[in-house]
Amino acid sequence: MPIEIKGQWHTDLWSAAIDQLQNYSTDYHANGFGVYLVLWFGNKTTSKLPKAWKRKRPQSLQEMKNKLNECYKDISDKTKIFVLDLSK
């Protein structure tokens, strides 16, 4: 099963589940399934957001989950989105 992993600061965070993961999941071994895993380090991360970042930074784990689910609301039911809390 393909897994696409992105940190919360990554410029492709809001497109990779479709642009990257959906391409991998079409492989006949994947059978359409995939996991999109976002690493959440908290809202006080020292990573600078890239200049291309056009969205407001989520301030909480729940807000990140909500924004990702809204962004990818039309993604395949075989693709699951998870946010891993690494803030502690």
Task: Supply the pLDDT for residue 51.
Answer: 55
What is the model's pTM?
0.85
Q: For 22-82, give the DSSP string.
A: HHHHTSTTTTT-EEEEEEE--TT--PPPPTT--SPPP-SHHHHHHHHHHHTTTS-TTEEEE
CA distance 59 to 45: 11
Q: Is the distance from CB of 60 to CB of 87 less than 8 angstroms?
A: no
Per residue in 17-76, pLDDT (tens digit) is 999 998 889 888 899 899 999 999 998 766 665 555 566 778 899 999 999 999 999 999
Per residue in 67-88, pLDDT (tens digit) is 999 999 999 999 999 999 999 8
Task: Supply the pLDDT for residue 57.
Answer: 78
CA distance 4 to 15: 11
Q: Where are the domains of the chain?
A: 3-85
